[in-house]
Amino acid sequence: MKRALIAALALAALPMLPTVAAAKTFVYCSEGSPEGFDPGLYTAGTTFDASGHPIYSRLLEFKPGTTQPEAGLAESWEISEDGTVYTFKLRKGVKFQTTEFFTPTREFNADDVIFSIGRMVDEKNAWNKYITGGTWEYAEGMGFPKLIKSIDKVDDLTVKFTLNRPEAPFLANIAMPFASILSKEYADSLEKAGTKEQLNQQPVGTGPFTFVAYQQDAIIRYKKNADYWGTAPKIDDLVFAITTDAAVRYQKLKAGECHLMPYPNAADVQAMKADENLQVLEQEGLNIAYLAYNTTQAPFDKPEVRIALNKAINKAAIVDAVFQGMATPATNPIPPTMWSYNNDVKDDTYDLDAAKKMLADAGVKDLSMKVWAMPVSRPYMLNARRAAEIIQDDFAKIGVKVEIVSYEWAEYLSRSKAKDRDGAAILGWTGDNGDPDNFLDTLLGCDAVGGNNRAQWCNQEFDALVKKAKSTSDQEERSKLYEQAQVIFKKDAPWATLDHSLSVVPMRKGVTGFTQSPLGDFTFEAVDIAE
Amino acid sequence: MFGFLLRRLAVLIPTFIGVSIIAFSFIRLLPGDPVALLSGERVMSPERHAQISAQLGMDRPMVVQYFDYLGNVLTGDFGTSIVSKKPVLDQFLTLFPATVELSFCAIIIAVALGIPAGIIAAVKRGSIFDQGLMGIALVGYSMPIFWWGLLLIILFSGILQWFPVTGRISLMFYFPQVTGFMLIDSLISGQKGAFASALSHLALPSIVLSTIPLAVIARQTRSAMLEVLSEDYVRTARAKGLSPFRVIGIHALRNAMIPVVTTVGLQVGVMLAGAILTETIFSWPGIGKWILDSVFRRDYAVIQGGLLLIAAIIMTVNLIVDLLYGLVNPRIRH
């Protein structure tokens, strides 16, 4: 019996080893299953990589490799002088995908835009609650329901957005995957058939790839969209092989079972670089990890105490221990790849003697404090406990006793925002749209105190600058305002800025045309593979 | 026999209710608010939080929620996933065949290797075979599944390249899912090489999943066999001059099998638990991985629905084992 079984297994093993065979099939070992295929309903990058990017297009698209919005389904746009009316001229002749479940009879027009965005902002829209428990979390987070007053069709190829107030980041916001454009004609046909929820399972868009099939937690298949309005993809088929474990993804990449993988283990990166069959791309991620003091609690209400503590943190040690070098120490609250990054701001130097003296001058003696360490690994902070231990060690050297505390993730998120939180919390942020407002106002504005502003820091001067930048359309002018805001931030030091992690993308040799996105998206419309 | 069946069924009802209470309340005892997790680092306003909680029915008292839930379950509605917004039962039925296929192969390996190993160890008690086999069984039983799986992947897929790393079938093959069982579907598809590919993808995960049950079955078979071998009737059989094969293979084995059958039944439950880790490491799209992901996301609907469905299956398997047991040993029916 035993022999028979071994023989059977050996036989089975012979004809396999399915190296990535078919000439133009590109296999991406993705890190998780998409939650669904209607990107408006979700917030996870994994879902956007599988739905928003391959299947759909948006009015504006981010220029590959940048955070700069450029023409997408809208060929051009005009902004009224007061910054509240955005008029988009739509591209002519764009076709929706033809699939096994839907054949479009008309081309893309203004109705599709009104349908796609309208359902997110209008509670009375018939598609607002088409899925039990479905919510428009991203649109909500970006303030769309309160921001957008109306969306009007001027003619078939012109659509007008009227806002309740000027909002400069609006263009970047509608380039985000949640604002993807769906087919109204398809939605109408589903409504007629009484199968509205199919919109989230069998997607139809105008993007570079057409959805073919999804086997839950296993595989997503797409084929090239021959009618794509942009440059046609070079590959014929795109496959997402869902592989949740990073070590296993690496094995699959090595074995040639996939062409490209996201999120490698930091510890594997050196070996990947040494492997002659692989190539590794690296880029600073659009993120920040920080230690937020509670600036309303003594003695952390004094900037000099916060700066003294910042001087005692050995960021280089954190980058080495937690990221094996796959990160850079952070100076400003925004990453260096973002426009308006202020290069003139200098980081507090690691200087224990100076730190000790500053504390003594501020009259702080025998300080003991809590440092909160997140229980989960995030791209901006792989191991918060390890980072907290390094901080604990550093602070001990200047006579500050640290107790490390942690909670379950949801608890952590909710307790860390409390105004009377005891201690400094490690947390971070990954940018949504590449706009500095998405870091500076979202995380440090006065409105965010008790919420995203974990330092509970409300500096009127800083707040006035970022609020002014938000309502200014001219990017150069905005950039200047944000640069000033960064100077104030550093002087007042509500956070110890810890690191910006590198985003590392390993792929097979022979893969060309893949551009790393600073937003962390994985898009494959331009990739090619050597025969 | 009918009365026996009814009695067994009557015991199942309170068990099922107990399981439903545990599945429902345990996950709610864990800290962590699923609504807050929906938005991650992005803070949700208290009004928004209240609105979504109300939409999901989580603002009502626990007891009301529980009875609502139980009522829905009895009509076949296991709720809708908070994360994917899909019905729990649909998802379960899509993923379950993958887990069954994997568990079935694993239990076959465990039984096919475990029982002979146990018999050899018992017959050659104290010999190098006995100590060697039981030593290996002990190692297998104590092996952390995650580590063991990764080790096999690195050796057999990475270095030797005998088996594929993960997945259920090579990506070259694409055919509609008819039964959800890849071995059967690949045969139905008629595509050349599909069945072999499916089988080779099953090999490593099945070996990993079978490791613990194999060890348990081998040890159980050994001790049951030793007990039976010291019985008088075995001595009598030997004295009668029967061949060792007949004594061990027919007289002793049949009686020794009773506790082993029970163990195999219990291992089905263990296997579904072990499947969580095995499926995660091999990216096997089954229910184990699905439930584990849901625990991290605090997807209450999936966790309680999934646990309940798994419990129902284990109860059914145990019922079948009990009935088999009754067939093997009539005394138990009374």
One domain, residues A188 and A45: yes
Mutate to test the interface with A, among B145, B159, B169, B200 (most CBs of A within 10 A): B200
**Owning domain of residue B188:** 88-333
Q: Does residue B224 sit within a domain?
A: yes
Number of domains making up chain A:
2
Residues A291 and A348 in one domain: yes
- Look at residue B206 and tell me whether its pLDDT is greater than 90: yes
Question: Where does the pLDDT of residue B332 fall: very low under 50, low under 70, confident under 90, or very high at 90 and above?
Answer: low
**Residues A303 and A246 reside in one and the same domain:** no
| In contact, A284 and A328? CB cutoff 8 Å | yes
Nearest C-alpha neighbor of A309 from the set A496, A497, A487: A496
* CB contact set of B131 (below 8 Å; sequence gap of 6+): none
**pLDDT over 90 percentage in chain A:** 75
Is pLDDT at A3 greater than 50 in this prediction?
no
Q: Is A246 found in the same domain as A291?
A: no
Q: Which value, to the nearest 10 degrees, does the dihedral of the CA atoms of residues A195, A196, A200, A206 take?
A: 100
* Judgement on whether residues A60 and A199 belong to the same structural domain of the protein: yes
pLDDT tens per residue across span A113-142: 999 999 999 989 999 989 877 788 888 878
What is the mean predicted confidence (pLDDT) over A406-412? 84
CA proximity to A448, closest of A431, A432, A430, A462: A462
Nearest-10 Cα torsion for B296, B301, B307, B311: 180
Is residue B123, in this structure, part of any structural domain at all? yes
Among the partner-chain residues B36, B80, B83, the one whose CB lies closest to the CB of A35 is B83
A268 closest CA partner among A246, A283, A284: A246
- Within 8 A of A13 by CB-CB distance, chain B residues are 162-163, 200, 203
* For range B97-115, the mean pLDDT: 93
pLDDT in the model for residue A94: 97
Residues A80 and A183 both lie in one domain: yes
At B231-273, the pLDDT tens digits run 898 889 888 888 888 888 888 888 888 888 888 888 877 787 7
Chain A 260-279, residues with CB within 8 Å of chain B CB atoms: none
Ramachandran region, residue A458 (left: φ > 0; alpha: ψ -120 to 50; beta: rest) = beta
- The rounded mean pLDDT for chain B is 86
CA-closest candidate to residue A454, choices A463, A465, A444, A468: A444
In a domain, B97, yes or no: yes
* DSSP label of B80: B
Contact A18 B172 (CB under 8 A): yes
Q: What is the CATH number of the domain that holds A246?
A: 3.90.76.10
- Looking at the domain assignment, is residue B286 inside a domain? yes
A498 and A523 together in one domain = no
**A215 and A131, same domain (yes or no):** yes
B166 phi, psi to nearest 5 deg? -145, 180
Interface predicted TM-score (ipTM) of this complex, two decimals: 0.78
Nearest CB among B56, B82, B280 relative to A245 is that of B280
What does the pLDDT read at residue A483? 97
Lowest mean pLDDT among A381-385, B17-21, B175-179: B175-179
User: What is the rounded distance in angstroms from the CA atom of residue B171 to the CA atom of residue A327?
Assistant: 35
Which one of A131, A218, A407 has the shortest CB-CB distance to B285? A218
> Quick check: B285 and A217 CB within 8 A?
yes
A517 and A499 part of one domain = no
Phi first, then psi, for residue A208 (nearest 5°) are -70, -20
Is B85 close to A413, i.e. CB distance below 8 A? no
Q: What is the pLDDT of residue A301?
A: 95
User: For residues B326 and B182, what is the distance between their CA atoms, to the nearest angstrom?
Assistant: 34
Q: Does A354 contact B at CB distance below 8 Å?
A: no
pLDDT in tens, A83-105: 999 999 999 999 999 999 999 99
pTM for the model stands at 0.84
Q: At what angle do helices B287-296 and B253-281 cross, to 10 degrees?
A: 50
Nearest to A47 by CA among A190, A200, A264: A200
Decide: A502 and A326 in contact? Cβ < 8 Å.
yes
Give the pLDDT score at A4: 46
pLDDT band at A53 (very low <50, low <70, confident <90, very high): very high
CATH (domain of B128):
1.10.3720.10
**Mutate which of A9, A138, A178, A261 to test chain B, going by most B C-beta atoms within 10 A?**
A9
Residue A275 lies in a domain: no
**Does residue B206 or residue B166 have the better pLDDT?**
B206
pLDDT (tens digit per residue) in B118-127 = 999 998 988 9
Residues A456 and A516 in one domain: no
Is the minimum CB–CB distance between A377 and chain B shorter than 8 Å?
Answer: no
Residues of A whose CB is below 8 A from B34 = 410
The amino acid occupying position A6 is I
Find residue A368's DSSP bridge partners. Answer: A401
Q: What confidence category does residue B334 fall into, taking pLDDT thresholds of 50, 70 and 90? A: low
The CATH number linked to A434 is 3.10.105.10
The boundaries of the domain holding residue A517 are 25-255+510-529
Q: Is residue A79 part of a domain?
A: yes
A515 part of a folded domain: yes
Same domain, A368 and A494: yes
- Tally of domains in chain B: 1
Whether A323 and A465 share a structural domain: yes
Give B30's contacts in chain A (Cβ within 8 Å): 408
Q: How many CB atoms lie within 10 A of CB A486?
A: 23
Write out the H or E segment, with its range, that includes residue A4: helix A2-13
Is the pLDDT at A217 greater than 80, yes or no?
A: yes
pLDDT tens digits for range A264-323:
988 899 999 999 999 999 988 899 999 999 999 989 999 999 999 999 999 999 999 999
- In this prediction, residue A10 carries a pLDDT of 46
CB atoms B203 and A417 under 8 Å? no
